[in-house]
Structure formats: C-alpha cells, structure tokens
Amino acid sequence: MTAPVLSVRGLRLDFVTRRGVLTALDNVSFDIAKGEVLGLVGESGAGKSVTGAAIIGLIEPPGRIAGGEVRLSGERIDNLAPDALRRIRGRRIGVIFQDPLTSLNPLFRIGDQLVETIQIHTPLTQAQARQRAVDLLTEVGIPAAEKRVDAYPHEFSGGMRQRVVIALALCAEPELVIADEPTTALDVSVQAQIITLLKRLCRDRGTAVLLITHDMGVIAETADRVAVMYAGRIAEIGPVHDVVQSPLHPYAKGLMGSIPTLETDADRLVQIPGSMPRLSAIPRGCAFNPRCSKAFDRCRTERPEPTRSGRSQVACFLYGPGREAPQ
C-alpha cells in the first residue's frame, strides 16, 4: 500500500492563557489517501477549522502544537521552521477559505494574483504563468477566461470568486487541498456546482482533499470518508455511506437524525440537548456524556479511545471489546 498523502497522528493543540492551558485538539488522528476526499464535520466549536489551521502551520501564539505529528507524503511538517513551512503552503498544500473575498486582493486583477502565485511556486516565465492562469480559470469553469483574467474580484459573483480561489489553490498542483467551509456563503445551486467541481478535480488530478464543513449534505455528496468531531476529538470516522446511513456514536446519530429527509414522515427532527462545551469546561470522561442519553458511569470518569467497529472507528464505550452497556 502507498503511504497516505496526509497522516495526522495524536495531534494535540493547546492555548496557554492566564487561567491555564486550554486544549482545543486532543489526540486527533486520521489519514487521507491520494485522490480521496475526507469530510470533517461537527458543530461550531468542535475543532474543525483549527485542525486545518494546525496542519498548515497557521496557529498563532498563544496557540501551540503540544503533541503528535503531521506528515505530508511521509515527510514530517509540523516541526519545520516557519520559512520551510511557508514554502510548502501553496506549493504542496493548497487552501480554500470560506469567504473568497478574504483570499483575493480587491486592488489587483485576478490574473495578476494568479500569475504571482504561479511564479512563486514554479519556474514559469511571465507569459507561461499567464497562460497557465487562463488554463486554470477555464478548468474551474470561468467562461471567457482569456478576457476575465484581467477583471477585478468585485466584477465576479460569489460563486465565480470561489472558483477563482479554487484556481489559486491549484496553481502549483498541490498534493493536498484543505477546503474550509468552501460553500457556506453560496446559494444552493452554486453550492452544487462547487461540489461537482471539487469532486472532478480530485478525481482527475489525484489530489487529496480535507473538506471542513458543518453541512452534512455537502459531506454526503462529496466525501469518500467522514470524520465527526466533538470538543476537539474525533468521535467517529468511517466511509461516508456507513456514517450517514448507520452512525455509531450517539453524537453522530444525533447529527444525522437532525437532517430532514423525504423518505420518512416525521413530525419532529432529532434534537441533541445542550450545547458544545467551552474549552475551559470540557467535562471529565467522554466530553459528550452530559448530552448523551446512553451515558453510564464509565463515560463520566474515563475518556474512550477510538475502537474498530465494522469499517468505522468510534470513540464510545458502547462498542468494542470492553463494552459495558446495552446498545
């Protein structure tokens, strides 16, 4: 078997404050293979975006990686110097942010921004870089790319700006693309177009994609596998069909049950009581135990570790060799 494009092992991220150390990520582990889309899903505050930021070294003090490691195609990158990591971002790792306006300089033409990025990471000349910019815009579905390459960001719609940001992320043909809520600010029809584009680019280029979102519809349409996060830990990870259709962890069941469907006639959707805990008040044991209807004594004192169940891994005492409560 070939090595995964991205391998995260035991990642721990702390924020040092006057009131003590707050742990934002606790023992997070996952892999992404070449050409695979891994969806990272959970409520706001679960740790999704900060996971992506930690992988590419965008955590500012007082945040710090306190444990674990991140490997890109077998090479460890979490301990690199800032300059070395900056060279990897953009060239080997592309990033797509939620709001395209924060990724594009409103004072410069689209083509100038693409050409600059291409020339930073490749040995192409100015003319070659401009032609590559036009080719990228065409590939991501910008009509009349030869003319639109000289337009400014404000001359594009939200969906078209997001296509430009995707083109920016692909400038240097990266091995990995981290897409942080890439469809949140777009209407439903444009969301579908962006999802189709990401899937096609992943398939055609063999790029590994980490798709961070709170939208399970986007995950179901796009991802090959999905990781469900809660309070800085991965509660469940497995093939997208298994997790969406037959979730194991009580939190994952609550998330999937809250999605409306045309197949069943339900008066009310499933509701998860309570809310995500603050970093300063993560409960002892399983972080989900105060909101879980199946919690028992062990859940309130011990932190469950991921265990294999079918094709998935789940961090819950209801599964695995030492399970102590009926399902």
Domains of the chain (ranges, CATH numbers): 6-92+172-314 (3.40.50.300)
The mean pLDDT of 52-72, rounded to a whole number, is 94
pLDDT higher than threshold 50 for residue 166: yes
The mean pLDDT of 208-218, rounded to a whole number, is 89
Q: Can you tell me the distance from the alpha carbon of 12 to that of 218, in angstroms, rounded to the nearest whole number?
A: 27
The pLDDT value recorded for residue 323 is 63
For the chain, give the mean pLDDT: 89
pLDDT higher than threshold 70 for residue 326: no
Split at pLDDT 50, 70, 90, the class of 72 is very high
The pLDDT value recorded for residue 307 is 94
Q: Which range has highest mean pLDDT (149-153, 212-216, 322-326)?
A: 149-153
Split at pLDDT 50, 70, 90, the class of 327 is very low
Percentage with pLDDT > 90 across the chain: 64
The mean pLDDT of 151-162, rounded to a whole number, is 91
The mean pLDDT of 160-183, rounded to a whole number, is 90
Contact between 32 and 177 under an 8 Å Cβ cutoff? The reply is no
The pLDDT value recorded for residue 124 is 92
The pLDDT value recorded for residue 263 is 65
The pLDDT value recorded for residue 200 is 83
The pTM is what?
0.91
pLDDT higher than threshold 50 for residue 168: yes
Q: Where would I find the beta strands (DSSP E) of 219-325?
A: 225-230, 233-239, 307-309, 312-314
Split at pLDDT 50, 70, 90, the class of 295 is very high
Give the chain's radius of gyration (CA, Å).
21
Q: Can you tell me the distance from the alpha carbon of 238 to that of 32, in angstroms, rounded to the nearest whole number?
A: 12
Q: Can you tell me the distance from the alpha carbon of 283 to that of 272, in angstroms, rounded to the nearest whole number?
A: 17
- Contacts with 219 (C-beta within 8 Å, 6 or more apart), sequence order: 39, 41, 211, 213, 226, 240, 244
Q: Which residue has the tokens 């309130």?
A: 300
Name the more confident of 185 and 21: 21
Both tokens assigned to 54: 């930690």
pLDDT higher than threshold 80 for residue 235: yes
Q: Are strands 20-32 and 6-17 parallel, antiparallel or unpaired?
A: antiparallel
Q: Can you tell me the distance from the alpha carbon of 139 to that of 160, in angstroms, rounded to the nearest whole number?
A: 12
The pLDDT value recorded for residue 262 is 60
